[in-house]
Homo-oligomer: A and B are copies of this chain.
Amino acid sequence: MPTIVVEVMPKPELLDPAGKATAGALTKQGSTAFSAVRIGKRFELTVDGEVTDAVLAEAQRLAEEFLSNQVIEDVVAVKVA
């Protein structure tokens, strides 16, 4: 069955302590290629039937209303996997 992927990230202006800690850990492991890490969520929604424009619009609505907290997060992608 088709899958829609929803990606949610913390708003850029927001502090991301977990991301900061992860970046620090990567540096301690000797990795110098990356200057920052931000951590968000990735949802896979299994679609019951075909992916239509209406289903994609529904996924976008649910992403904004239920799968993210619009005060601190942005929905950065809603796409067919």
Contact = CB atoms under 8 A, between A and B. Distances in A.
Contacts of A19: 43
Contacts of A62: 26, 29, 31, 34
A80 interface: no
A36 B38 CA distance: 26
Interface string A36-48: 1111111111111
Contacts of A48: 32-35
Contacts of A65: 29
A37 B44 contact: yes
Interface of A: 1, 4, 7-9, 19, 22, 25-26, 29, 31-49, 55, 58-59, 62, 65-67
